[in-house]
Amino acid sequence: MAASIHGQGRRGPQAGFSLVELMISMVIGMVVVGAVLAAYLGAGATTRTSRAMSQITEDASVALSVLRSGIGMVGYSNPTGIVGNKFTKSYNGNGLFGCNTTFQDATIDLIDDLTCAEGAGPNAIAVAYEADSANSVVNVDNVPLDCLGNAIDPGAGPTYLAYNRYYLDDSKLMCMGPVNNTPDALVDNVVDLQFRYGVAIAADVNKVGYYADAGNVGVTPANANWDNTVSVRICVVIASAENVLEADGISYRDCDGVEITPADGDRRMFRAFTTTVVLQNRLGTMR
């Protein structure tokens, strides 16, 4: 009993926190947690935006590379001789045709028979040229492949004709080659596709006199036509695969520089990319 009383007598008053001190600590803790949470959310949004921009840039690079490689070969054919001051060629058909919309029927077998659909929308383009091992990927038999990787049939002649049609379908860059009537998607997330054609005039057959859309090539002036197109300006608008923006109504510039506001609920990023292809095989072909 004495020991117990003696032990209790050595205990001093217990120290503690007042209510004000507890409230201040809670407020400080909430501020710290809020700052950490805001930093985390901001880092997450930045990461999503950066990832979306990388995807957009990669899709644009692939789309423009595919179009540049195909369009740049327009009119090419292996020279077979010389008449006057010009080469004669294996393929002398039309090598270029475009539409301000899509094709009425992309399965048409000849580029000269293609027609354009009514209305407005993403553009379409068709190119034709002689394919060989120098300008195309070939298979194990040294046969050139079309835009979908199919071996091209030489048909009745000794040359391999690459006849590729490029257009959009459901935000996908499509290609249809000469082998069959089954198109396939090359690049996703392409929401717009536009072509402008640099037309040479008689004063200088190797220089662009003006740029026109497909509807005006061959119309104004009278000597402007597909044969005198010496360059093609390409524009694609690429969207992010997912919604990454913080709010609705964030606009972007399209291929014509017009400000476009996406529909409500569409929070994807959009960017327009352009390039110009010089048609080296068409220079000096003014008729």
Tens digit of pLDDT per residue, the chain (287 long)?
Answer: 445 555 555 555 556 667 666 677 777 777 777 766 666 655 555 678 888 999 999 999 999 999 999 999 988 888 777 777 666 677 777 889 999 999 999 999 888 889 999 888 899 999 999 998 888 889 988 899 998 989 998 875 668 888 999 999 999 999 999 887 889 999 999 999 999 999 887 767 778 888 989 988 855 544 457 888 889 999 999 999 999 888 888 899 999 999 999 998 899 999 999 999 998 877 655 44
Only one residue has tokens 């950490």, namely 36
Q: 144 has which bridge partners?
A: 138
Q: How far apart are CA 220 and CA 217, in angstroms?
A: 7
Only one residue has tokens 């600590």, namely 25
- Strands, E assignment, the chain: 79-83, 86-89, 96-99, 124-131, 160-168, 172-176, 184-188, 190-201, 204-212, 229-239, 252-253, 259-260, 270-278
Contact between residue 77 and residue 94 where contact means Cβ atoms under 8 Å apart: no
For residue 154, which phi and psi values (nearest 5 degrees)?
-70, -15
Q: 25 has which bridge partners?
A: none
Q: Collect all residues with Cβ–Cβ distance below 8 Å to 285 and sequence separation of at least 6.
A: 75, 205, 227, 228
Paired sense of beta strands 229-239 and 252-253, if any: unpaired
Contact between residue 122 and residue 99 where contact means Cβ atoms under 8 Å apart: no
Q: How far apart are CA 204 and CA 228, in angstroms?
A: 11
Take residue 44 and report the two structure tokens written for it.
């997450």
Q: How far apart are CA 284 and CA 230, in angstroms?
A: 9
Q: What is the pLDDT of residue 286?
A: 43
Closest CA to 59 of 179, 161, 154, 190: 190
Q: Is the pTM of this model over 0.85?
A: no
Closest CA to 184 of 151, 139, 147: 147
| CB-based burial label for 175 (10 Å; 0-12, 13-18, 19+) | buried
